[in-house]
Amino acid sequence: MTWSQKTDERAQAIIARYPDPRSATMPLLYLAMHEDGHLTEDGMREVAARVGLTPAQVQSVASFYTMYKRDRTGRYLVSVCTSISCMLLGADDVLAAVSEETGVADGDTDEDGLFSVEHAECIGACGGAPAVQVNYELVEGVTPEQGKALCAWLREARPEVVLGDEMQELFGGQRSFEWGPSETAGAVGPFPAFEPYGTAKEGR
């Protein structure tokens, strides 16, 4: 397997930004996820070859971080924060509700590859607790009912681009702070939507 020309160009541009190619390992791991939907062995091999490491070294780096999903991952990765501030405001119930609605247990992915559900450690939205991320796009102030509705909507609407503002509008509540102007870029898979890594798209 090799990467698409576009991904390849991005990889080269990223490597060029660092004094040492090894520094591009983490960005390239996101590119690899973008290519395959999750981080595959081939993806790690590809990254290794580009940054001058062995696949074992790349695996060592990738497995250190929680966001490089090395198992099959759903199109929508629903992360429910259950750290202290969110827990105090009922996050455990939100997680239960999300699991119930999707039929996916914490840490699992459904058969169709639509949903993965996980509990997350603090995602920096404590002022808007309980908080949920879908493909790392944030929704704050989510009640268990809203959590369910959010998942039902994802299943129905199947948005190609996951937009935080849209979800906040529809399913959110209390925010950590005013978010400012709305964002039109969002996530296209279970990895952060950040343009230089080629993972964001303009949405509706």
How far apart are the C-alpha atoms of 168 and 93, rounded to whole Å?
A: 19
Bridge partner list, 129:
none
Binding mask 37-76 for another protein (x = CB under 8 A): ----x--x------x-xxxxx-xxxxxxxxxx--------
Smallest distance from the beta carbon of 150 to another protein, in angstroms?
17
* CB closer to another protein, 60 vs 152: 60
What residues from 10 to 29 belong to the interface with another protein (CB under 8 A)? 17-20, 22-27, 29
Residue type, 124: G
The closest alpha carbon to 69, from 100, 95, 30, belongs to 30
**Cis omega (within 30 of 0) on the bond before 130?**
yes
Smallest distance from the beta carbon of 136 to another protein, in angstroms?
5
Structure-derived torsion over alpha carbons of residues 55, 1, 63, 38, reported in degrees to the nearest 10: 180
CB 125 within 8 A of CB 131: yes
161 binding another protein? (CB under 8 A) = no
How far apart are the C-alpha atoms of 26 and 15, rounded to whole Å?
A: 11
156 binding another protein? (CB under 8 A) = no
| The only residue of 111, 112, 180, 204 in contact with another protein, by rule CB under 8 A | 180
Span of 2-10, 104-112, 149-157, 174-182 interacting with another protein by CB under 8 A: 174-182
What residues from 90 to 119 belong to the interface with another protein (CB under 8 A)? none
